[in-house]
Amino acid sequence: MKIFIDSADLDEIRQAFAWGVCDGVTTNPSLLKKAVDKRKAAGEKLDIKEYISQLLQASQGSPVSLEVTELTAEGMIAQGKRLFEMFNHIARNVNIKIPINPALKDGDTTHFDGLKAVSVLSDEGIPVNCTLIFTPEQALLAAKAGAAYVSPFAGRVDDLLRKRAGIKFDKSDYYPADGFVHNNELLEDNGIISGIDLVRQCVEILEIYEFDTEVIAASIRNPRQAREAALVGAHIATLPFSVICDMLKHEKTHEGVELFTKDIVIEYVNMLK
């Protein structure tokens, strides 16, 4: 499984690449706002174009998703092309993030605009990461429209299931991949029993029909969910920096280092000087 870092924070991105574990970057408007706010709070005068250029360079030629902000097909296509023209020459690694369905509410006439934008941009050779995927059928349609990547939002599915059932939770709380029984009922959203189940179903469908589209397990909140994304065959997981850090932690690892350190023989250390 490839690991992308889900961040627009240059420090985090540089660090993750320096560790040699990062295969790409995903950003979205919220992540960009967080990174920009951090720089502004530190008193920096931000040149957003320069900042994104640095982000693309920091990613060492591996794919970086930049998201559109428009909500109509025409607007998304124009922005997608502009982003690609403006930034792809820097490291040849830009892909454009398009929401599968930009309608703000049911009944809007723009339901298919996401698909149209995916299709037009893909036909022009601009790779698309189709985002905000919450059903396997959305993933199937995005793949058919030519998306290079689809991004099912695992953590947000788990949020939805717990919220509907009136269960209190923290954002990083683990949610069982095999589902959660509450008041004798298995929580589900139209046949999806967890965020990881959504990822699994997306992978399965795209593999049955041999699409080249890669599934990016997104909205991953904790190491166990990252592990489960790998177990269900996600091609990629995009992970917040904190999750990458937490994946390294175990109390017995710390204890082992402490015990080995106590037992070091001085002759061995001297030999290595």
Q: Summarize as ranges the residues that interact with ligand G3P (CB under 6 A).
A: 6, 26, 28, 31, 153, 155-156, 218-219, 221, 238
Phi and psi at residue 216, to the nearest 5°: -100, 110
Q: Which residue, 28 or 59, is less far from ligand G3P as judged by CB?
A: 28
- Min CB(151)–ligand G3P separation in Å: 6
CB atoms within 10 A of CB 91: 18
| Three-state DSSP state, 231 | helix
Do the bridges between strand 185-186 and strand 181-182 make them parallel or antiparallel, or are there none, so unpaired? antiparallel
- Min CB(205)–ligand G3P separation in Å: 20
* Residue of 109, 107, 103, 161 whose CA lies nearest to 132: 103
- Min CB(216)–ligand G3P separation in Å: 8
Read off the amino acid at residue 244.
I
Q: Which residue, 120 or 152, is less far from ligand G3P as judged by CB?
A: 152
Q: Which residue, 98 or 120, is less far from ligand G3P as judged by CB?
A: 98
**Catalytic amino acids?**
97
- Min CB(31)–ligand G3P separation in Å: 6
- Min CB(157)–ligand G3P separation in Å: 10
Q: Which residue, 145 or 217, is less far from ligand G3P as judged by CB?
A: 217
CA distance 71 to 73: 7
Q: Which residue, 88 or 219, is less far from ligand G3P as judged by CB?
A: 219
Asked if 216 contacts 234 with a C-beta cutoff of 8 angstroms, the reply is yes
Look at the alpha carbons of 43, 8, 223, 182 in this order and tell me if their dihedral is positive or negative. positive
Own/partner contacts of 58-61, CB < 8 Å, gap of 24 or more, are: 58/10, 58/13, 58/14, 58/17, 59/13, 59/17, 59/22, 59/24, 59/25, 59/91, 59/93, 60/17, 60/91, 61/91, 61/92, 61/93
